[in-house]
């Protein structure tokens, strides 16, 4: 890894928002799945959560549709799988995260109303069915994007981008991109994984700690 590459990685990781995420509930179209990840990368999401489609398979990272829309975002945004949306919502809530479901209900509010400077996960439903009633009820709140046309819904990746950039706007105003949100040890781990992905995989398989890197991204000699 060149020093220039390492410095760029560190600049990007310095903007990452570990308290902002999405939960994709059975989003099964590769171009939507990957487009959402690309938006996640753009606004600084570190980890995205996903419930696989009923087929049990995540969209393939190797598919042409995926590669065309992801822009390699899958390399920079971790995807954490979950068995089902309701259990995922409860797990996130147990970690102090507010879960906001994109769902029309009596308690729905404009997507710009919530405070996205709080730990937040946006729950996005499958293309055909949206968020399930059970998951929407389990969520801390329901949000909608006001629309005034004949069509009453947006493509899931477009909805994700709209909401996530509102979250980015609020966090920018609050100065949350001005200082690193990752703890130093977490930032160092992520930098090694991004800079040396193959080596990092080997260290994880062996259960070994990553070696330290110097200010140029090179291994510290011991």
- 44 with 24, same domain: the answer is yes
Q: Tell me how far apart the alpha carbons of residues 148 and 141 are, in angstroms, rounded to a whole number.
A: 22
Q: How many structural domains is the chain composed of?
A: 2
- 92 with 169, same domain: the answer is yes
- 195 with 126, same domain: the answer is no
- 116 with 48, same domain: the answer is yes
- 8 with 21, same domain: the answer is no
Residue 212 Cα to chain centre, angstroms: 27
Closest C-alpha among 38, 22, 21 to residue 30: 38
53: CATH:
3.40.1280.10
Number of neighbours of residue 113 by Cβ within 10 angstroms: 13
Which pLDDT tens digit goes with each residue over 117-161? Answer: 999 999 999 877 889 999 999 999 999 999 999 887 889 999 999
Range of the domain at 106: 17-173
The pTM of this model reads: 0.89
Residue 25 Cα to chain centre, angstroms: 13
- 33 with 114, same domain: the answer is yes
CB-based contacts of 189: which residues, under 8 Å, 6+ apart? Answer: 210
- 46 with 132, same domain: the answer is yes
Provide the pLDDT confidence category of residue 58 given band limits of 50, 70 and 90.
low
CB 97, CB 23: distance < 8 Å = no
| Mean pLDDT, range 17-42, rounded to an integer | 94
- 10 with 106, same domain: the answer is no
- 217 with 110, same domain: the answer is no
Predicted pLDDT at 70: 45
- 191 with 145, same domain: the answer is no
- 21 with 11, same domain: the answer is no
DSSP letters for 133-177:
HHHHHHSSEEEE----SS-----HHHHHHHHHHHHHHHHHHTTTT
- 159 with 133, same domain: the answer is yes
> What are the distances in angstroms from CA 138 to CA 5, 25, 103, 113, 121?
42, 13, 12, 19, 13
């Amino acid at each position: 890894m060149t020093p220039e590459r390492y410095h760029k990685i560190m600049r990007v990781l310095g903007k990452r928002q570990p308290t902002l995420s999405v939960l994709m509930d059975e989003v099964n179209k590769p171009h939507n799945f990957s487009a959402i990840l690309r938006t996640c990368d753009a606004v600084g999401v570190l980890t995205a959560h996903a419930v696989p489609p009923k087929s049990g398979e995540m969209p393939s990272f190797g598919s042409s549709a995926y590669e065309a829309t992801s822009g390699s975002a899958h390399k920079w945004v971790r995807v954490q799988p979950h068995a089902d949306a309701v259990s995922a919502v409860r797990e996130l809530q147990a970690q102090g995260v507010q879960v906001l479901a994109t769902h029309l209900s009596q308690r729905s509010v404009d997507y710009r109303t919530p405070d996205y400077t709080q730990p937040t996960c946006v729950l996005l439903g499958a293309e055909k069915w949206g968020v399930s009633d059970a998951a929407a009820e389990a969520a801390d709140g329901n949000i909608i994007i006001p629309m005034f046309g004949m069509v009453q819904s947006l493509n899931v990746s477009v909805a994700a981008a709209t909401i996530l950039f509102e979250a980015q706007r609020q966090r920018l105003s609050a100065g949350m991109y001005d200082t690193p949100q990752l703890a130093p040890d977490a930032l160092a781990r992520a930098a090694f994984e991004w800079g040396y992905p193959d080596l990092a995989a080997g260290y994880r398989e062996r259960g070994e700690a990553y070696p330290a890197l110097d200010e140029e991204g090179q291994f510290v000699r011991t």
